[in-house]
């Protein structure tokens, strides 16, 4: 089995942001056991900024991007120093891999990243992945490693994504404020929970929170990958979640079951990895036709356009209530779409594309 495991800053550090070496040691021990059992494991880790805060003796985590990027640079090497040491105690070699959104957006980079990671696994290394926060463009960055771990799962054709956090999983309500909240053990593609929103991070040491984990779980599910959200401090959590996956049982935490209609890498890129440049609003009839999943978006069904996009760039498609129902690659520029909206194909200006978004470039989103 191929496994991608992600652990966040709130699980790796104490209240002062100091790296908890005992937790990293335990995670490395579990990964060593999984490796001994014949599994491939890729670890996605946060903690560089928190480690930088501690190393520079700051009392709290800053909020401005320039300082955060500097702290990431100071903390990343210290974080890897701990991983190198702990994996070495199990005769394993950790391999640092720093990624940015461009590595998933650009097809050439996407394939290159896959090739490098595959070779690392072939060589017996444990890839330790983080966003390259020190140089990531503030306008084009993930901002949390949950997103990266989900896209990485697809890139590597993983069987299982494990998102380790500081809660037991997904609850019916916030357990910190509602004593009646209960743990949700299973989520399937057709469940309303696949479109539910969740609260932000419960710690000032991380950048994710349950909302980003839900988003990551959706990406994994749409990739046909089983995803589990579970508490990092549960004894042998990685091993227990993996055993449950092998047995096809729920196990611990919240399990998001993989969809039978897995997206292709191109569809996944359009739906989750590409940068949205605009929005196309459609009428009720066009929305119904699109939701059948077999038609292109024609100019006649367009009621409004916004943003700044060119042909080939990603746009969101919203229904008459403002709900985003799909994403796709525009066949028209913003100006062409604006001039053509509401018009029949036969009435379009000469040389204007016949469709706004072709069905082959369109992905319906979870509702």
pLDDT tens-digit series, residues 199-212: 444 444 444 467 77
Write out the E strands in the chain: 2-7, 40-45, 94-99, 126-131, 160-165, 186-187, 226-231, 254-256, 276-282, 302-307, 314-318, 324-330, 357-364
Could you give the CA distance from residue 314 to residue 303 in angstroms, rounded to a whole number?
Answer: 18
* pLDDT recorded at residue 202: 45
pLDDT tens-digit series, residues 131-144: 887 776 554 455 57
In a 13 Å sphere around the CA of 310, the CA atoms on its Cβ side amount to 0
Q: Band of the pLDDT at 108, cuts 50, 70, 90? A: confident
Average pLDDT, the chain: 86
Could you give the CA distance from residue 186 to residue 192 in angstroms, rounded to a whole number?
Answer: 12
* Range in 74-78, 172-176, 283-287 the model is least confident about: 172-176
| β-strand pairing of 254-256 with 276-282 | unpaired
Task: Considering only CA atoms, give the Rg of the chain.
Answer: 22
pLDDT tens-digit series, residues 316-339: 999 999 999 999 999 999 999 999
* Number of other residues whose CB lies within 10 A of the CB of residue 284: 12
Could you give the CA distance from residue 229 to residue 223 in angstroms, rounded to a whole number?
Answer: 17
pLDDT tens-digit series, residues 178-194: 888 888 888 886 665 55
Find the mean pLDDT for residues 103-109: 78
pLDDT tens-digit series, residues 213-240: 887 887 888 778 999 999 999 999 999 9
Please name each of the domains of the chain with its CATH number: 2-265 (3.40.1160.10), 275-364 (2.30.130.10)
**What phi, psi does 188 have (nearest 5°)?**
-110, 165
Give helix then strand counts, H and E, for the chain. 12, 13
* pLDDT recorded at residue 121: 97
Contact 60, 108 (CB under 8 A): no
* pLDDT recorded at residue 290: 93
Tokens of 32: 């060593």
* pLDDT recorded at residue 143: 57
- What percent of the chain stands above pLDDT 70? 88
Could you give the CA distance from residue 244 to residue 247 in angstroms, rounded to a whole number?
Answer: 5
Q: Which residues pair with 98 in a beta bridge?
A: 130
Could you give the CA distance from residue 67 to residue 307 in angstroms, rounded to a whole number?
Answer: 31
Could you give the CA distance from residue 53 to residue 59 in angstroms, rounded to a whole number?
Answer: 8
């Amino acid at each position: 089995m191929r496994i991608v495991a992600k652990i966040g800053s709130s699980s790796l550090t104490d209240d002062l942001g100091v790296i908890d070496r005992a937790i990293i040691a335990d995670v490395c021990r579990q990964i060593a056991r999984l490796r001994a059992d014949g599994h491939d494991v890729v670890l996605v880790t946060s903690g560089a900024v928190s480690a930088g805060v501690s190393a520079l003796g700051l009392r709290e985590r800053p909020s401005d991007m320039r300082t955060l990027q500097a702290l990431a640079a100071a903390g990343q090497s210290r974080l890897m120093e701990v991983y190198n040491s702990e994996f070495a105690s199990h005769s394993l070699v950790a391999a640092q891999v720093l990624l940015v959104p461009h590595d998933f957006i650009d097809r050439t980079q996407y394939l290159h990243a896959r090739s490098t990671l595959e070779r690392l696994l072939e060589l017996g290394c444990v890839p330790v992945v983080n966003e390259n926060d020190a140089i990531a463009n503030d306008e084009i960055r993930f901002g949390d490693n949950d997103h990266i771990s989900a896209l990485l799962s697809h890139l590597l054709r993983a069987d299982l994504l494990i998102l380790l956090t500081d809660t037991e999983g997904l609850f019916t309500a916030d357990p910190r404020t509602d004593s009646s909240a209960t743990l949700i053990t299973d989520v399937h593609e057709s469940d309303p929970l696949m479109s539910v929103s969740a609260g932000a991070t419960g710690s000032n040491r991380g950048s994710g929170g349950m909302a980003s984990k839900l988003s990551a779980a959706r990406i994994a599910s749409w990739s046909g990958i089983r995803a589990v959200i579970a508490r990092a401090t549960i004894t042998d959590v990685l091993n227990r979640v993996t055993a449950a996956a092998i047995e096809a049982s729920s196990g611990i935490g919240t399990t998001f079951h993989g969809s039978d209609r897995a997206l292709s890498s191109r569809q996944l890129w359009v739906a989750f990895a590409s940068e949205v440049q605009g929005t196309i609003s459609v009428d009720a009839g066009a929305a119904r036709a699109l939701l059948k999943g077999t038609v292109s978006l024609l100019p006649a069904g367009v009621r409004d356009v916004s943003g700044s996009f060119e042909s080939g760039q990603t746009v969101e498609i919203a229904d008459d209530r403002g709900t985003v129902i799909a994403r796709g690659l525009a066949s028209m520029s913003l100006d062409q779409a604006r001039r053509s909206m509401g018009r029949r194909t036969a009435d379009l200006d000469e040389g204007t594309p016949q469709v706004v978004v072709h069905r082959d470039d369109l992905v319906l989103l979870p509702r």
